[in-house]
Amino acid sequence: MSTKQAADAVDVILGQWHQERPDLDVSPMGPIGRIRRCALLLQRKMDVVFTEYGMSNWEFDVLATLRRSGPPYCLAPTALFSSLMISSGTMTHRLKGLEASGWIERIPSSSDARSMLVQLSDAGFALIDQAVTAHVANEHAMLAAITPEALLELDARMAELLGALEGNAEGR
């Protein structure tokens, strides 16, 4: 059992493994299981906001990536799919959908006549500005039960884990 007040679903799983395999150190299952469950639950809560704005999480990600890139809110497709960690084929398909919705435009590159850039349309800019405001408010609400000090500590530990995982990406 963890040191938390009340047992959670991961504690139940850990208890079952301790019962069935007392010889096995299943302690990594605690944090990894909780991270996975938190990610799933957080995504469900974020999807509620995205749906309110008529978009999916990936559409939000693409539009938000363009919006946070700053004026002129325009990137090469390779910069987009690298930032979003998806394949170029997936990016091409997604861009077609976003263009059909009127949220992006493809414009010729001034530095390479053979390539196109992806730019937020006026409608896409207005949509993502409203959606990101609601998204951030939703994130604040999701984390409201945790003290600011505990959130800082959690963020630091998660950054440490992410750094370790990204550093080992080539090894696995």
pLDDT at 172: 47
| Residue 154, phi then psi, degrees to nearest 5 | -60, -45
DSSP 6: S
Are the C-beta atoms of 103 and 58 separated by less than 8 Å? no
Please give the CATH topology (third level) of the domain spanning 10-20+27-143.
Arc Repressor Mutant, subunit A (1.10.10)
**Mean of pLDDT values over 63-75:** 95
Residue boundaries of the structural domains of the chain: 10-20+27-143
pLDDT in tens, 46-67: 999 999 999 999 999 999 999 9
pLDDT in tens, 108-151: 888 877 788 999 999 999 999 999 999 999 999 999 999 999 99
The dihedral built from the CA positions of residue 26, 28, 29 and 30, taken in this order, carries a sign that is positive
The span from the CA of 151 to the CA of 96, in Å, is 38
Q: What does the block give as tokens for 76?
A: 């090469």
Q: What does the block give as tokens for 53?
A: 């704005």
Could you tell me which of 63, 77, 75, 85 has the C-alpha nearest to residue 132? 63
The span from the CA of 101 to the CA of 124, in Å, is 9
pTM: 0.83
The span from the CA of 82 to the CA of 91, in Å, is 10
